[in-house]
């Protein structure tokens, strides 16, 4: 777990404010007894996972595709290449949504803004080490022009039918 107490408090505030501002339909599904805490989310996301991430093309049409992600300091980070369609979309319009799910245990939805994390940024090597641990090689071995995308969340929802299966310590 990479998150500090301050980052967990910030994440919990985001989860709470997102739910408070959500519509009645979402609140009827993501009932309070099924919501995951920031600590549960942080503990669940260790290593690299796959998420569905959506960007918007130049015609305003949403495009969704699977992508690797890691949860680092309370935010999802994705990897892609500078030449990818996703990178082109995000340079033009940084709005991004992602969803992680395993059935309904858990479901995590994030809406936010993409921030590019290139090789010269301090967190790049820490993120690359997460990918190296997962895949046995640096993402730089796959492409010289790869970078990470930090998703700065504006809204985030975390749900599980069985939240007791997601430990807090």
- Average pLDDT in the chain: 93
- Asked whether residue 168 is domain-assigned, the answer is no
| Counts for the chain of helices (H) and strands (E), in that order | 5, 6
The predicted structure's pLDDT at residue 162: 92
What is the number of structural domains in the chain?
A: 1
- Asked whether residue 36 is domain-assigned, the answer is yes
pTM of the predicted protein model: 0.93
- Asked whether residue 58 is domain-assigned, the answer is yes
Does position 102 have pLDDT exceeding 90, yes or no? Answer: no
Instruction: CATH number of the domain at 126, please.
Output: 2.30.110.10
Give the Å distances, CA to CA, from 66 to 5, 80, 163, 164, 167.
30, 11, 25, 28, 26
- Asked whether residue 105 is domain-assigned, the answer is yes
Please give the residue range of the domain that contains residue 58: 5-163
- Asked whether residue 169 is domain-assigned, the answer is no
* Integer Cα distance of 163 and 154 in angstroms: 23
């Amino acid at each position: 777990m990479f998150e500090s107490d301050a980052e967990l408090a910030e994440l919990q505030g985001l989860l709470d404010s997102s739910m408070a501002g959500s519509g009645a339909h979402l609140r009827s599904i993501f009932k309070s007894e099924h919501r995951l805490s920031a600590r549960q989310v942080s503990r669940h996301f260790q290593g690299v996972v796959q998420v569905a991430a959506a960007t918007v093309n130049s015609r305003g049409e949403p495009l969704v595709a699977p992508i690797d992600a890691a949860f680092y300091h309370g935010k999802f980070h994705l990897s892609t290449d500078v030449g990818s369609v996703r990178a082109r979309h995000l340079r033009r319009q940084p709005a991004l949504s992602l969803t992680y799910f395993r059935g309904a245990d858990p479901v995590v939805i994030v809406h936010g803004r993409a921030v590019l994390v290139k090789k010269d940024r301090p967190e790049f090597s820490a993120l690359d080490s997460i990918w190296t641990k997962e895949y046995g090689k640096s993402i730089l071995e796959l492409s010289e022009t790869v970078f990470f995308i930090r998703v700065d969340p504006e809204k985030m929802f975390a749900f599980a039918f069985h939240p007791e299966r997601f430990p807090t310590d």
